Structure 1
Amino acid sequence: MNSPADRGPLALAALASAAVSGLDPVSVEEVRTGPTSRYDVAFVQDAEHRRWVIRSPRTAAASAQLEQAATLTHLVARRLRQSVPVVKGWVALPEGGRAAVYPYLTGRPVELDLLTPGPGLTASLGRALATVHNLDPAIFDEAGSVSYDAETYRTRRLADLDRAAATGRVPTGLLQRWENQLEDVGRWRFSSVPTLGGVEGDQVLVGEDEPGELVVKGFLGWEDARVADAADDLAEIVAALDEESLDTFLEAYAHTRSERPDAHLVDRARLAHEMSLVRSMMAAVAAGDLDAAEDQASALRRLDEETSAQELAGALARATGETDEDAGALARATGETDEDAGALARATGETDEDPSDVEPEGRR
C-alpha cells in the first residue's frame, strides 16, 4: 500500500471525523514529514475544543507497526505514570490498512542538549525511562512486539554492519572500529528489557508537576518498541548530555531500575548513536532521497575523522606515560568518550572487578 500523494491535512481531518464519533473538525494543522517518514500526520481540533492526532500509514509495514503500537500502548497506559498515546478510533484506508486517531497529549518536547546536572528534569528523564525498562516483558509479548536476547541482538548489529559496508558510503575506519566493538563479546552481556526502540527529544513530553517543577509527562513513538537492549533508548541521550548531566541522568536511572544496569550500557549506547547515521542513510537511499543520503554520508566521514583523532590522542597519552588524570583531560579536550564507563560505574556503584560483568545474561 502507498499513501495517495494528495492526502493532505483536509483529507486527514475527514478521516479523523470518520474514525471518532462526535469529532466535528473545525481546524486542522499539518505535521510536515520527510520522504522517509512512515506516516502522514495532522493535528485536528473539533467543535468541543478537543485536540486530536491522526496518523495515516504510508506503507503496509507502517500500518502493521501502527496496529501493534496501539495494542501495546493500550496495555502500557495502565502501568506507567507517564501518558502514552491510546487510540480512540480507527478508519479504513482505500488502499488498505487503517489510520488511527488518539487524543493530543499535552506537554512540550524536551531539548536534550539543554538538560543540566542536578535535581530536576534530567533526573526526571532518568527515572521515567527506567520505569519503561522496568515493565514486564510479557506485556510486550502479549502485544506482539519482537524480542531479542543479547547474542541475537549483537548478531543483528553485525548484519547491519555488513549492509552498511556494501553501500560503499561508510569510511573503512568506522567499519573497523564498529566491528571491533561488536566482536568484543564482553560488551554484549546484558538482560533484555522493554524499550521504545530509541528515544529522541521529540518523543519525550515535558510539563510541570504540582510544585511547579519540570518533569517528564509522557512518551510518544511506540512503533519501534521491542524487548531488546536498553542502550537503544539511551543513544541520543548520552550523545547530547555533557559529563555532569550524564552523571545525573545515570544516577537517577540506575536507582530506579529494578535490576542494576550492566557496566557497558553507555558504551553500547554510544555505538547505537553512531550506527544510527548508517540506518538513516540507508533509509534515505531506499526512499530515493539521494541528497539526504549524501548528507548522512558526509556526517559519517566527519565522525570518522573525529574518532580517528580521539584514538590518536589516546595512543599518544599511553605512549608518553601520562597519568589517568592527564589522559582524562586530553580525552575531554578531544571529545573522547571512554569516561562514559566511569559515569555508569559511579551511578551504579560498580567496580571494574564486578562479577556481573563476566556472567552471560540475556532473554529471548
Structure 2
Amino acid sequence: MPARSPRVLAALATAAVRNLDVVAAGPAEDDGADFDVALAVGADGTRYVVRAPRRAAAAAALDAEVELLTGLHGLHDPLPFAVPSVAGTLALPDGGRCVVHPELPGHPLDPGTLRPGPGLAASLGTGLAALHQIDGSVFSEAGVPVYDAEEYRRRRLSELDRAAGTGHVPPRLLTRWEALMEDVTHWRFAATPVHGDLVGEHVRTDGAAVTGVTGWVDAKIADPADDFAWLAVGADPDALESVLEAYAHALPEPPDPDLLLRARLAGELALARWLLLGLRIEDPEIVEDARRMLDELAAHADATPLG
C-alpha cells in the first residue's frame, strides 16, 4: 500500500487518543520497512509517536507489542528505563491498528559515540541485564515467539539457507556463518526475554544514561546475544567491554562464554535479513543496499574474525 503521510497519521492519532489536538506533524525516526511512522505534537506540547503497519505480519507483531508493553508497565520491579505507554489505538480499514504513544525522553544512541567506563556504557549493560532477567511469562503471555537454544540455532540455519538461496550472499560469508551455526558448542545458552531489534533509534539516552527503549515488535524469548549485535558491529571494542562488564556484574550468574561470538554473528546476519526483507517486499533499493554491505563485509572478513 502507499505510505501514509505524517498528516494522515496525525489524523489517525486524533481519532485514537481522546481529546488529542494535533498542532504539528512531521516524520519520525525510520521504523523499518514494515511501518509508517510520524511524530505528532499536541496542543499542550506533548510529542506523540504514531505508527501504522503496512502489512498483515507487521499488524500482528504490533498487536503483540501492545500486549507486551502492558505487561512491562505492570512489572513488580520496573525496568531502569522507560518503555512506551500506549495512549490510544485505532482499527484501520485495511486491517491492523494504528498505535499512538508519547515520545520517550532523550535522543537516539549512536553506538559509535559510546565511550568506555562508567556512565552511559554501564547504564546500557545494567539495563540489558534487567531486561534479560524479566519473568519469561510476561513475554510468553503477550504472544511473542518463544525459542530454546536448539530451536533458535535451527532458526538461524533456516535463515542462512534462505539467504544462500538468493544467490546474493558472497560464498565466503556463507561458509563463515555456517561453521559457527553448525558447531553446537557455541549455542549453549539459557534463553531469555530479549528486545530483538536494538539499534540506535530504538535506544534513548540523555547522554549519561539510557532513558528509554522503544520498537518492541521483534521481542521474543531467545538468545540474549541478539541484544548485543548492534554494539558488536557498531561500538568501540573498549566501550563494548564496559557494557559487557556492567551486564555481567548485574547478573546472578556469569553470561555464557560465547555470547559475544554470537552477538557478532547476529550483527552480520542482520545484513542477510535486510536482503531477504528487500526481496520479500520487492524493494530494489533495499536489495541493492544489502548486497553492497554484504560485499563490503566479505572483503574485510579476514581482518574481522568472529571468534
Q: TM-score band, normalised by the shorter chain?
A: over 0.9
Cα deviation digits, residues 214-258 of structure 1 (max 9, x gap): 100110110000000011110011222223222211100111123
Q: Is the 8 A contact 1:281 1:292 kept in 2?
A: yes
For residue 114 of structure 1, what is the amino acid of its counterpart? T
Paired position in structure 1 for 2:37? 41
Larger CA Rg, structure 1 vs 2: 1
Q: Is the 8 A contact 1:77 1:83 kept in 2?
A: no
For residue 246 of structure 2, what is the amino acid of its counterpart? A
Structure 2 CA distance for aligned equivalents of residues 306 and 6 of structure 1: 36
For the residue of structure 2 that corresponds to 1:143, the secondary structure is coil
Residues matched between the structures, number: 304
Cα deviation digits, residues 330-356 of structure 1 (max 9, x gap): xxxxx4454xxxxxxxxxxxxxxxxxx
Structure 2 CA distance for aligned equivalents of residues 41 and 192 of structure 1: 31
State which of 251, 268, 276 in structure 2 corresponds to 1:257: 251
Q: Which runs of 4+ in 1 moved over 6 A?
A: none
State which of 273, 278, 282 in structure 2 corresponds to 1:284: 278
Shift, 1:33, TM fit: 4.4
For the residue of structure 2 that corresponds to 1:86, the secondary structure is coil
Q: Is the 8 A contact 1:112 1:237 kept in 2?
A: yes
Structure 2 CA distance for aligned equivalents of residues 27 and 165 of structure 1: 46
Structure 2 CA distance for aligned equivalents of residues 188 and 10 of structure 1: 47
State which of 23, 37, 59 in structure 1 corresponds to 2:20: 23
For residue 142 of structure 2, what is the amino acid of its counterpart? A
Structure 1 CA distance for aligned equivalents of residues 233 and 27 of structure 2: 30
Please report the TM-score for the alignment, with normalisation by the length of structure 1.
Answer: 0.80
Paired position in structure 1 for 2:97? 98
Identical-pair percentage: 43
For the residue of structure 2 that corresponds to 1:148, the secondary structure is coil
Please report the TM-score for the alignment, with normalisation by the length of structure 2.
Answer: 0.94
For residue 65 of structure 1, what is the amino acid of its counterpart? A
Which residues in structure 2 correspond to 1:264-343 (within 5 Å)? 264-307=258-301, 309-310=302-303, 335-338=304-307
Structure 1 CA distance for aligned equivalents of residues 181 and 261 of structure 2: 11
Paired position in structure 1 for 2:166? 167
Structure 2 CA distance for aligned equivalents of residues 199 and 258 of structure 1: 23
Q: CA RMSD in A?
A: 1.6
Q: 1:33 to 1:236 in 2, by over 3 A?
A: closer
Paired position in structure 2 for 1:324? none
Paired position in structure 1 for 2:83? 84
Structure 1, unmatched stretches of 5+, are 209-213, 311-334, 339-364
